[in-house]
């Protein structure tokens, strides 16, 4: 089958979408990723890991102003989908689902709605507008041939709690062979190393970790990624020896740094709905690499951390709580190891990417079978 996967960013990179694309190409599907080149300088066409990336260039700002540019993006995506030949369109979030839905119905093709984030909770809008957009999104879900969410908590967010027809595919990393994991040991025992890689937006609490590390001493904080706070963190790293800013780094380097760390953190503001329901890949990377993680109370990932006993939970923005957590782990290597082993055990049994891989392929097998039955029925009608 020929599959088109849509994303409203340049896919440079997009870890989850590319993991899914790799699974599909390994299963023999012909996969094209269609992205929106609204920022950055990635090429219009690119081959990567046996799938192709196509980028439609139309510059647009980051933040809520992007909604003003969505109609143009939708038109570009519709025209591209109409002229190309494909069997299944796999749309990530509402801002790609709308054009995918229009063309899928026109061409009578299969449609997958992959909800990375509930779109209405990604941008700040007036309450009455938010309610309308949320209702519209939930209404449109019924027209998809298959729906995917990244965490079961998302079902509550989209009003589908208890709906067994919706597929849950966690944002887990691919497992590393044990020799590879052993090839990247901790460089040294001191200082205590804390690592974060990901978005550096205003809804993530880096300041509490940096302040706590400054107060404790003998703690190194390494940060990697991009976002509105990147420049400020870069400046801090030039002034303070305990902070290292790595910029944007390849995924292999993210994993290597994770393996060399003592503690990871994912302190997201739970007052933001998409953060409250998020299960970021950083959580599962920590599990895979046998590392404890520090997360915010009130978020879905805190429930996982508590259930699996694989890290510590602190109130968002509470510097003293973060400091106490770091001191607890720094003083007790056996506790760090215990939490890390708990996480690894949970990863192997519940969150392993091989489990997610099979769920994704099962969705595609079912859609392929349905398409074959439809084609047979159509042929029979034409003969009659």
Extract the tokens encoding 262.
């003592």
Burial class (CB in 10 A: 0-12, 13-18, 19+), 277: buried
Count of C-beta atoms within a 10 Å radius of residue 21? 25
State residue 189's pLDDT score: 56
Quickly list H helices, the chain. 15-26, 70-83, 94-107, 127-141, 153-157, 178-182, 207-216, 230-239, 251-259, 273-276, 281-288, 300-308, 319-330, 333-346, 353-383
Give all strands of the β-sheet with 110-115 in edge-to-edge order.
45-48, 51-57, 30-37, 2-7, 88-92, 110-115, 146-149, 167-168
pLDDT at 228: 82
Query: How close are the terminal C-alpha atoms of the chain, in Å?
Result: 28
Nearest residue to 373 via CA among 363, 362, 383, 381 = 381
Q: Are 322 and 209 in contact (CB under 8 A)?
A: yes
User: CA-CA distances (angstroms) from residue 298 to 5, 116, 215, 267, 282?
Assistant: 32, 19, 26, 11, 17
pLDDT value at position 220? 96
Ramachandran angles phi, psi of 91, nearest 5°: -105, 130
> What is the pLDDT, as a whole number, of residue 178?
53
Q: Domains along the chain?
A: 2-172+353-383 (3.40.50.2000), 178-350 (3.40.50.2000)
**C-beta neighbour count of 2 within 10 angstroms:** 13
Q: Is the peptide bond before 191 cis (omega within 30 degrees of 0)?
A: yes
Q: For residues 53 and 77, is the Cβ–Cβ distance under 8 A?
A: no
What are the residues facing 204 on neighbouring strands? Answer: 268
- Residue 281: both structure tokens together: 């890949």
pLDDT confidence of residue 183? 47
Per-residue pLDDT of the chain (384 residues; tens, 9 = 90+): 999 999 999 998 898 999 999 999 999 999 999 999 998 899 999 998 899 999 999 999 877 788 899 999 999 999 999 999 999 999 999 999 999 999 999 999 999 999 998 877 776 677 888 889 889 999 999 999 999 999 888 888 888 887 888 999 999 998 977 544 544 555 445 699 999 998 888 888 999 999 999 999 999 999 998 888 889 999 999 999 999 999 988 888 999 999 999 999 999 999 887 788 777 789 999 999 999 999 999 988 999 999 999 999 999 999 999 999 999 999 999 999 999 999 999 999 999 999 999 999 999 999 988 766 665 555 555 555
Q: What is the pTM of this model?
A: 0.84
């Amino acid at each position: 089958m020929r599959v088109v996967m849509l994303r409203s960013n340049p896919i440079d990179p997009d870890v989850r979408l590319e993991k899914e694309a790799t699974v599909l190409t390994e299963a023999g599907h012909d996969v094209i990723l269609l992205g929106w080149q609204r920022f950055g300088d990635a090429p219009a066409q690119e081959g990567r890991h046996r799938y192709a990336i196509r980028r439609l260039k139309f510059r647009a700002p980051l933040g809520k102003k992007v909604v003003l540019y969505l109609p143009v993006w939708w038109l570009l995506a519709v025209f591209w989908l109409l002229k190309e030949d494909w069997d299944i369109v796999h749309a990530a979030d509402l801002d790609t689902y709308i054009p995918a839905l229009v063309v899928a119905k026109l061409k009578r093709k299969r449609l997958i709605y992959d909800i990375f984030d509930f779109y209405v909770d990604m941008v700040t809008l007036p309450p009455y507008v938010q309610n309308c957009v949320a209702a519209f999104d939930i209404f449109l879900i019924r027209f998809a041939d298959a729906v995917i969410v990244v965490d079961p908590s998302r079902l509550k967010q989209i009003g589908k709690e208890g709906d067994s027809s919706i597929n849950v595919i966690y944002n887990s990393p691919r497992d590393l062979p044990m020799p590879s994991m052993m090839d990247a040991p901790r460089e040294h025992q001191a200082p205590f190393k804390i690592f974060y890689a990901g978005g550096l937006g205003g809804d993530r609490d880096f300041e509490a970790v940096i302040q706590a590390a400054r107060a404790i001493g003998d703690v190194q904080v390494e940060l990697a990624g991009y976002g509105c706070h990147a420049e400020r963190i870069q400046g801090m790293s030039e002034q303070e020896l305990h902070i290292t800013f790595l910029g944007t780094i390849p995924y292999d380097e993210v994993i290597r740094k994770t393996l060399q760390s003592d503690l990871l953190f994912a302190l997201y503001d739970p007052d933001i709905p998409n953060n409250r329901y998020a299960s970021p890949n950083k959580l599962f990377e920590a599990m895979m690499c046998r590392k404890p993680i520090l997360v915010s109370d009130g978020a879905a990932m805190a429930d996982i951390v508590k259930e699996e006993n694989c890290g510590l939970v602190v109130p968002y923005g509470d510097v003293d709580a973060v400091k106490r957590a770091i001191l607890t782990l720094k003083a007790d290597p056996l506790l760090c190891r215990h939490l890390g082993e708990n996480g690894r055990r949970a990863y192997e049994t519940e969150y392993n990417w091989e489990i997610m891989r099979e769920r994704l392929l099962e969705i595609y097998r079912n859609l392929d079978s349905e398409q074959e039955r439809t084609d047979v029925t159509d042929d029979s009608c034409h003969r009659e």
